[in-house]
Amino acid sequence: DTGVSQNPRHKITKRGQNVTFRCDPISEHNRLYWYRQTLGQGPEFLTYFQNEAQLEKSRLLSDRFSAERPKGSFSTLEIQRTEQGDSAMYLCASSLGLRVSLGELFFGEGSRLTVL
């Protein structure tokens, strides 16, 4: 297992198009988090899953955003009708539930979205 994998690493799209990002967590991890990071900012929480259940969504996650984690394995984050303000790095992290309090989140390298 080589860690958390995110694809694509970079996506350039035109405003109004839909994009989907995929995250493959470390195999035994039941927690999966999505964060968004814009230039000069720290990661902002978007949503997280425990197994296949989506337990919390940030108010940052408008109705154009949807995330899934079917079967509790990989996760997808879809952005519909992209806007220029959606340009950011989308980070995925995974963990074992109780290890989150120890800060043991394992991050992927991120998927950078550029909306023209």
Partner 1 sequence: AQTVTQSQPEMSVQEAETVTLSCTYDTSESDYYLFWYKQPPSRQMILVIRQEAYKQQNATENRFSVNFQKAAKSFSLKISDSQLGDAAMYFCAYKDNTDKLIFGTGTRLQVFP
Residue 8 within binding range of partner 1, rule CB under 8 A: no
Residue 27 within binding range of partner 1, rule CB under 8 A: no
Residue 87 beta carbon to partner 1: minimum distance, rounded to whole angstroms: 17
Structure tokens given for 107: 């991050």
When binding is defined by CB under 8 A, the residue of 27, 28, 42, 71 that contacts partner 1 is 42
DSSP readout, the chain? ----EEE-SEEEE-TT--EEEEEE--TT--EEEEEEE-TTS--EEEEEEETTEEEEE-TTS-TTEEEE-GGGS-EEEEE-S--GGG-EEEEEEEE-GGGGGGT--EE---EEEEE-
Residue 109 within binding range of partner 1, rule CB under 8 A: yes
When binding is defined by CB under 8 A, the residue of 32, 67, 105, 113 that contacts partner 1 is 105
Residue 25 within binding range of partner 1, rule CB under 8 A: no
Structure tokens given for 20: 């989907």
Residue 102 within binding range of partner 1, rule CB under 8 A: yes
Structure tokens given for 87: 């340009």
- The count of residues interacting with partner 1 (CB under 8 A) is 26
Chain residues binding partner 1 by CB under 8 A are 3-4, 31, 33, 35, 40-45, 48, 55-56, 91, 93, 100-109
